[in-house]
Amino acid sequence: MRGGRRLRVASAVLAAALLVTAGCTADGDDPPPAPPSAGIPSGTPAPGDAGPGGTVDRVGNPFGAHWDWSRYQQFAPYLAKIGGSATYEEISWCEIEPNPGQADWAALDQIATRSRDLGITLHLKIRTGVCWATGGTAKYTRGTANKTESAMPADLAAYQRFVGSVVSRYAPYGVREYAIENEVNAPSYWAGSPEDYVRLVKAAAETIRATDPKALVVDSGISSVAYGMGVADRLLQAGRVPDAIAAYQAYFQRRIGTRGQQIPTVTTEAQLRKALGTDVNSRSLRFLAATESLLADRTVDVRQLHFYEHFNGVAPLLDYLRTKTPAGVPIQAWEVGQFWRDADGDPASRAAEMVKTVTLLVAGGIGEISWLPLAYNPNNAAGSEVRYGLLDPDGTEREAGRMMASLAEAARDATVTPLPASVAGRLNGVAFVRGGASTLVLWSASNTPVTVPAAPGGLSGAVGAPLRAAGGGGTTVTDTPLLLRADQPVDKILASLR
């Protein structure tokens, strides 16, 4: 095995959950010297090192975040606590090379350097944008950076040369994963057809592998809403109408009505079929199918997940991924967050929900999880905190941030282990096993408290708080997640629940 320490995912988790530019880039603009090997974080994955089930090794800590690099100084103290994780940066050909042959890599070089220094693995999301390289005029602009949708390159060979320059420049920094575009199901991100997207990915994949044989190709990351439509559509097509309606309701319980008729209330088969048949949702299903064709023919190596829903939506999502992802293909959640337009939950409940969401995902075999945003932007267009941050805008840790750092510490260089089937229906959570010790994240699966008997070396406490010696009467687990650590295997710790 290469690359030092790894986070291992137990085979049982994967089995249960995954079955699941000539003239276009500046001549002579050579990549920077390779960083010294001592500076490469020990958790950096080495593509090609196969883990259980044929998947690549995971980073040393699955719990990471995505942040605004313009606020790096405020966030750096917290980022040190989630070292060993992974993040991504979105780049655009049109932004890096606004004019033919005039590429500016300075900002991305700085991001790559700082990521390496933090011990956080950097992935890159390569977009085209709309400019001289694609022709046409942008229809959508977003944010203060005026980001636009992407369009098909006018010259595919020139595009491949740009992609090759990205890979050759950033491989020395330890970048090994490259996603092609972002949420192509949305017209505001991709102006072309599903067929155009497939052609673009095949061209990019050819260049990425030729430039760096260790590199991995990642899909665009279909949007969270589109995944929910896929979940319901699969069940409906299988004739499982009640299951399809129940999955839709669980997945979209916070989204109903937020996008007009795109996410309407659904209680009948006719209503569900109508919802899935809108122009927006049918487009999403076509792009989801195109993405899965790229996974099936192994053009794409890694499936990218985006999820912003209530944690009750995780179970139907994992069921979908279990059946629609080729065996051995790793799944990474590059965007995970909490959409809550009219948030009325107190910080403690929102933080607890964050723990449940990321815990269920990692227990389901998802190898990397990046919470987005690390800290919300108070000047965003929505005018409110629709997506919940782990930090305040100035970088001050919230309870959610302390909880995420606690999960990162428990999981770092450990083996992800599912809870035994014998506790199903009583406890939810996951275990991280390192050496002879097990750290469990637990909460009651119902409103009934569960007592875990005392175990040798037993410590327990709230997630994000100091752990204390468990009393002789054991540890009572309620609906609020807690940590339990003991010097025993997981099955022994949970053998005699009360």
* pLDDT at residue 1 is higher than 90: no
pLDDT of residue 447: 83
For CA atoms 3, 4, 7, 11, the dihedral sign is: positive
Indicate left, alpha or beta for 339 from its phi (over 0: left) and psi (-120 to 50: alpha).
Answer: beta
186-195, 235-244, 276-285, 370-379 — which is least confidently predicted?
370-379
Answer whether 5's CB lies under 8 Å from 40's CB.
no
pTM to 2 decimal places: 0.89
From the list 142, 112, 116, the residue with the least C-alpha distance to 129 is 142
Query: pLDDT class for 53, splitting at 50, 70, 90?
Result: very low
pLDDT of residue 32: 43
pLDDT tens for 290-342 read: 999 999 999 999 999 999 999 999 999 999 999 999 999 999 999 999 988 77
CATH number for the region 419-493 comes to 2.60.40
Q: Residue 383, CB half-sphere, CA atoms under 13 Å: how many?
A: 1
pLDDT tens for 185-237 read: 999 999 999 999 999 999 999 999 999 999 999 999 999 999 999 999 999 99
| Helix residue ranges per DSSP H, 269-308 | 269-276, 279-296
Highest-pLDDT range among 141-145, 220-224, 348-352, 374-378: 220-224
Query: pLDDT class for 157, splitting at 50, 70, 90?
Result: very high
CA dist list (Å): 122 to 161, 171, 264: 21, 10, 38
* pLDDT at residue 181 is higher than 60: yes
Answer whether 85's CB lies under 8 Å from 359's CB.
no
Mean pLDDT within 12-30: 38
Strands (E) located in 208-330: 216-218, 303-307
Higher pLDDT, 481 or 386: 481
CATH number for the region 8-228+275-415 comes to 3.20.20.80
Q: To which residue do tokens 């291992």 refer?
A: 8
pLDDT of residue 383: 65
Amino acid at position 23, single letter: G
pLDDT of residue 18: 36
pLDDT of residue 262: 84
Answer whether 288's CB lies under 8 Å from 296's CB.
no
| Mean pLDDT value across the chain | 88
Query: pLDDT class for 378, splitting at 50, 70, 90?
Result: confident
Query: pLDDT class for 138, splitting at 50, 70, 90?
Result: very high
Give counts: helices (H), strands (E), the chain. Answer: 14, 19
pLDDT of residue 299: 98
Amino acid at position 283, single letter: R
48-57, 150-159, 216-225, 348-357 — which is least confidently predicted?
48-57
Structure tokens at 249: 């309701």
Query: pLDDT class for 8, splitting at 50, 70, 90?
Result: very low
Structure tokens at 418: 């599912």
* pLDDT at residue 367 is higher than 50: yes
Euclidean distance between CA atoms 208 and 352, whole angstroms? 40
Helix (H/G/I), strand (E/B), else coil: 95: helix
Instruction: Give the per-residue SS3 of the chain.
Output: CCCCCCEEECHHHHHHHCCCCCCCCCCCCCCCCCCCHHHCCCCCCCCCCECHHHCECECCCCEEECCCHHHHHHHHHHHHHHCCCEEEEEEEHHHHCCECCECCCHHHHHHHHHHHHHCCEEEEEEECCCCCCCCCCCCCEECCCCEECECCCCCHHHHHHHHHHHHHHHHHHCCCEEEECCCCCCCCCECCCHHHHHHHHHHHHHHHHHHCCCCEEECCCCCHHHHHHHHHHHHHHCCCHHHHHHHHHHHCCCCCCCCHHHCCCCCCHHHHHHHHCCHHHHHHHHHHHHHHHHHHCCCCCEEEEEECCCHHHHHHHHHHHHHHCCCCCCEEEEEECCECCCCCCCHHHHHHHHHHHHHHHHHCCCCCEEECCCECCCCCCCCCCCECCCECCCCCECHHHHHHHHHHHHHCCCEEECCCHHHCCCEEEEEEEECCEEEEEEEECCCCCEEECCCCCCEEEECCCCCEECCCCCEEECCCCEEEEECCCHHHHCCCCC
* pLDDT at residue 28 is higher than 70: no
CB atoms within 10 A of CB 356: 20
**Residue spans per domain, the chain:** 8-228+275-415, 419-493
Structure tokens at 283: 């487009």
pLDDT of residue 380: 74
